[in-house]
Every structure is written in C-alpha cells, then in structure tokens.
Amino acid sequence: MLKKKLLTLLTVFALLTVGICGSFLPLPKASAAALIYDDFETGLNGWGPRGPETVELTTEEAYSGRYSLKVSGRTSTWNGPMVDKTDVLTLGESYKLGVYVKFVGDSYSNEQRFSLQLQYNDGAGDVYQNIKTATVYKGTWTLLEGQLTVPSHAKDVKIYVETEFKNSPSPQDLMDFYIDDFTATPANLPEIEKDIPSLKDVFAGYFKVGGAATVAELAPKPAKELFLKHYNSLTFGNELKPESVLDYDATIAYMEANGGDQVNPQITLRAARPLLEFAKEHNIPVRGHTLVWHSQTPDWFFRENYSQDENAPWASKEVMLQRLENYIKNLMEALATEYPTVKFYAWDVVNEAVDPNTSDGMRTPGSNNKNPGSSLWMQTVGRDFIVKAFEYARKYAPADCKLFYNDYNEYEDRKCDFIIEILTELKAKGLVDGMGMQSHWVMDYPSISMFEKSIRRYAALGLEIQLTELDIRNPDNSQWALERQANRYKELVTKLVDLKKEGINITALVFWGITDATSWLGGYPLLFDAEYKAKPAFYAIVNSVPPLPTEPPVQVIPGDVNGDGRVNSSDLTLMKRYLLKSISDFPTPEGKIAADLNEDGKVNSTDLLALKKLVLREL
C-alpha cells in the first residue's frame, strides 16, 4: 500500500541521513494523500470502469504528458472512470480533490455537466456524495475541484467521474470523454473566530438559534467548532427525510417474510447516524425534518408491493394510511431505542403541502419524480393525509416534542390563507403545536410588513412560531452587496425580537446551512463565508439584539432547604421528609442545592448528618 511504501522510504532516508551526518535531521511531516497524483503516464493507477463501459489509456488527448484516460461505450450517465482510494485517504480527514475533464466530437453540443463524486460504504450500504459539479466546454480541459471530509465510518472509499444524471439520457449524456491529472491533497482548513460573540448567547432568553447541516457539511473540524460555538439546535439537512430513512431492501425482505405484508415499511438510521452521534455527544437538541413530504420520497413507497416498476399501480388509500402510520411508528421507535438521550424538541410533520396556484390550495396528484411539484400523497390518500400524519405523529412522537407544519412563501396572502385553513383544523383537533416559516428570502422580498402580518396571523391561532430555514439569497460578494444583505438580516431579526418581546410565541430561529460554501443556494446567503469567518450580516445581527435584563443570582445558604434565609430545625425536618420520600421536592428551586452539603451532586444521609451538625452549631 502507498502509505506503507511511503513510511518505508522515509525510514530508509532517515537511516541514510544518520550514516552520513552522524545524527538525525528533522524530517518534514508527510501525508500519503499528498502524493496522490494520477497522471496516467505509467499506467491506469488503479482506475477502471464502474459498469460495462471501457476505460483505457490513450494518447489522443492529454492535459499533461502524453497519456490520459479515455472513457467510451457508456450506456448510463453513471458509467465512468472510478478508483478505490481506501488505502491512501485517511478517515475523518479533509482533502481537496481535483481532476481535469475534456470531451471532443462534432456530434456533441458545446457544453456538458460533469460531476466528481465520492462513493463509500457506511456499513449498511453504499453512500454517494457530490464533490464538484461543473460545466465542461467542448475541446477545453476543465478542472473539477472540490473539498470533502472522508467520513470517519467509511469503508471502500472510491472516487469517480460521471455526466450529470438524466432519467432519459441522450447520446450527448452518454458521450465519450477523457480525464487526466487526478490529485488529492490535505485541505488547509481555516480556524474559526473564537473571540466573536456566540449567537446562542446573543439570543439567550429569546429563543433557540440553530443551524441546519448535512453529514458532509458538518464533517470538517471547523464546521463542528463553528456549530458548537454558535448554535443550540440542530436540523438534519437531508438525513431524516423519507428517502434517507425508508429502507427498500429491508422492506421487501419483511414483506416476503411475513406473508406479503404490504403495510409495514422498514426504516434505517444509517444516513442520519453521524449527525445523531454528534447531537448525542454534545447534548444538542434536534429539530426533526421532515416526516411527510411530496419531495425526496421514493415512488416505490406508494406502489402496490413496493414495486419499482414505473407502470405498477398505486397502493390504495387504506394501504397507504397503514404504511404512513407504521413508517412514523417505526422511525420514532428506532430513534427512541438507539438514541434515547437525543432530545427531539420539534418535528416538521408535514412539509410544503400547499400549492396556492390550484383551486383548493393542494398539490396536483402525481409523482414529483416525474412531474416536479406533484404529490403522491394527494394521488393515493387525498387531503386527509395531512390530518392522519399529525395523528400518527402525536401518537408516536415523544410526549414533549412539538409538532409543526412547515412551508415556504408562507408570508404570501393566498398561500397563508390555505395554510391557516389547514392549521385551524389541526389546532381544533389538538394535533399541531406550531408553524414552521421556512424564510428563504431574497434581497427585496418579502417586505417586513408582509413578514409581520403573516406571523401575527399564525400566532393568532395560539401556535408557536419558528423560522426554520432562514437564508437570504445574495449572488454578489462585493462589499456593497454584503452590507445590503447585512441590513436585510438586521431588519428581519429586529422585527423578530420586537415581536417576541411583545409576547408572540417565537421559539426558534434556524439558519439553513453552515457557510456560504455549502449552501444549497450557492452564492453568499449565510452569516459565515467559505473560510468560516463572520460576514457583515453576522455583526448586523449581534449588534441589533438587546440583551435581556438578567436577574441577580440567588444566594444559596448551605442547609437552608426551605429558603427562609436561616438554617434551623425546620430545614432538618424538611430534609428528613425528603429522604423518606414524604415530599418529592423542596419549597424553592434552590432547595436541592442547599441540601447537597458535601457538594457531591446527591442528597442523602451524609448530607442529613452534616445538616444536623449545622443546626446544633446554630443552637
């Protein structure tokens, strides 16, 4: 293996140095990954096909030297060159990966989207992660370069190149192409700013402030550090969505082992596990996202026998309601069993059910995977799916977990009308606790007055309000644009704080992403830039939030368990009753602190003896 060869070479070099110089000279630190440079001048370097295509050395084109790899005979967009780098990439470390790509040919149009991808096994199945997708122009070598952190639990770590996925690929999508000069070098990760205010401290007393992140986003060390400094709520970007937790193979196996049972879909937490472990380790409350959605839910979940045949019939309403209940039940039970200490304080039960462009405000029946925006919940169940989803969530979610409806453009009047209609029905049935306002804003829309009006309408129903996916689209990185964005954030947060102080029950503010570099929007929409540095928007927020007045700390007198400012026989009597379980608590919140006289975190007979001595001394 390359690592072993490298260490051997370094050892030989060190011994030679001793022999020549008489003493050891300091050797520079070396990383095997720094030596990954596949230029194909001496062979394939381990690269080969993913499928039936051909991957071979060629001198037809080359970015450097004489040779490159040619890929031909592709029948699917995922066909392309792949290499296993398990032995040379260190788990948990961050790398910058790059490869040059080129295509030629009169039959092809001038441009094509290509992707550099990571594939690894997480112990339960293969996981795929995009490193970089970019447009390649015909006849020009184009560098695909991106950064990734190799998951600490990964096995069979592979890198590959493919054209952009298409359901029905054209000859253009299945083109021949060339790659050359693949490199992998350790990423030079920046340090976060540790001396700036913490967002969770700034908003303390107002509401939780959280971040949304995927496993890949939160993998780099500075991302973890930034999250822990600023946030006290975690939303999983994709890993708890239906397509991530529904386990097709296990579902089919269960159906076949149980006489064709079609109503008990099986789930897996494998995609969510790294984030669940992070939340567990750092005791971070989680905002669950999302149980029921027309998007990112596989079509097989809605078909008879869970068929993957696109011509198979849809399941009946009766079957789908049973599947819905068991899916929610199985997920809640798995989370409670495997991660009992991870607190889910809220769940988005139904996400984006409303389409204001239809007469009834509901999405058009059909497959979102075939016709974007359509809903298979409307196809198979109809509008009832919303109430039923909340019924099942109320039944199986933790008792103290708040249930939310979540949507975007939630400030527009017509859409707000339809959402309130849904919320009113759910509230009357005792099934909903809050409204999730996604808050994907642009620089000029919505207006602050629209925002305020919609919050007041939702709050009037007696619901909690949470801003669940906040970002402000900004394609411009000029100082002028960043200052303008900062003012936009300031206006939003100032209004939010004012409404909170007025008494509106706003309980969380969640930013959708960690840094600009990994935002789903592209551009510069968040508070931190690609180097994990605070932007003007960050300072505009922290400087506009007035700290709440703090009450002076209560002085606790050891032994004063009734809180009357004295230590006497009354305290001794209360202590005895507490230890005999005649009472469940002391009269004041500080009673247990006062009762723990030896400060070992427990109240027991040792403390009772110490209290007796104190009382006798007072007498």
Place of tokens 């008489």: 22
Which of the residues 352, 391, 410, 464 is marked catalytic?
Answer: 352
Classify residue 472 by its DSSP letter: E
Q: What is the 3-state secondary structure (H, E, C) of 372-433?
A: CCCEHHHHHCCCHHHHHHHHHHHHHCCCCCEEEEEECCCCCHHHHHHHHHHHHHHHHCCCCC
Asked whether 350 and 387 are in contact (CB, 8 A), the reply is: no
Distances (CA, A) of 301 to 239, 350, 427: 17, 17, 29
How much is the CA Rg of the chain, to the nearest whole Å?
29
Asked whether 300 and 255 are in contact (CB, 8 A), the reply is: no
Q: Is 55 helix (H, G, I), strand (E, B) or coil?
A: strand
Dist CA 486 CA 441 (whole Å): 13
Q: Which of 154, 402, 398, 141 is nearest to 271 (CA)?
A: 154
Counting every residue, how long is the chain?
A: 619
Q: Give yes or no: 469 in active site.
A: yes
Q: Give yes or no: 491 in active site.
A: no
Which of the residues 61, 93, 410, 469 is marked catalytic?
Answer: 469
Query: DSSP string spanning 341-370?
Result: TS-EEEEEEEES-B-TTSSSSBPPBS-TTT
Angle at 87 between CA 86 and CA 92, to 5 degrees: 65
Is residue 3 exposed (0-12), middle (13-18) or buried (19+ Cβ within 10 Å)? middle
Asked whether 426 and 456 are in contact (CB, 8 A), the reply is: no
Which positions are catalytic?
A: 352, 469
